[in-house]
Amino acid sequence: MAASAQDSPDPSVPPARTGRPRTSAKGEQTRARLIAAARTLLAGGPGERFTTRNVAALSGVSHGMCHYHFQDRTDLVLAVVTDIRPEWIHPLEEAVSAPGSFAERADRVVELLSRPEGAELSHLHSALHWHALNDERVRESLEAEYRRWRGCFVTLFRVLADERDDGQGGGGAGGVDPLALGEAVAAAVDGLAAAESIGSEVDSGPVLRTLIRTLAAGTRPGA
């Protein structure tokens, strides 16, 4: 009985690792190389250069292995959409969600958005928009990312609504419509980015700061 009990697996102890995680890690490395190559091709050339064969060649991976990880080039584009999220959405989410008043969070957002966008990220966004026009799966994925990005501005104005509501003694958010105001600022930011992408000399920082302050001031009771 003692020997039998000793040989029985203890459910509280996780099973011993086998060699499979090592294979999985290698697979993740291969996948990462393919995504990096996809980013390079998307950012650096016209749409017709972006093929699974060219991605595989650039990453030093066989074409068959590329298709093992990604069924087609759309899957690669979708992987790039996800891969760039930490570079443009996560920082904005962090700027909005970190502690502070509406004014402090708005200043963080303006400071972040005033930084020049890197050339690679700018070219990637342009390429992804092009693919979105021609591929429904890419369009849906990119739109979901932009909803999340626009949601940061809505969240920012929810902070203002909460502050005004407290000031009103719980009386209904002080006339602030977070959705409308947040979407308005998001549209302005998008427009400024488009202007900057074609070389227009626009100092986005003061423009955004003025816009946000004006919208916030305009929601004051009796304004």
Quote the distance between the C-alpha of residue 40 and its chain's center: 18
pTM (2 decimals)?
A: 0.81
Treating both helix axes as pointing N-terminal to C-terminal, what angle do 90-97 and 102-113 enclose, rounded to 10 degrees?
A: 160
What is residue 117's predicted lDDT score, i.e. its pLDDT? 82
What is residue 194's predicted lDDT score, i.e. its pLDDT? 81
**pLDDT digit string, tens, across residues 32-51:** 999 999 999 999 865 558 99
Among 215, 205, 216, 211, residue whose Cα is nearest residue 113: 205
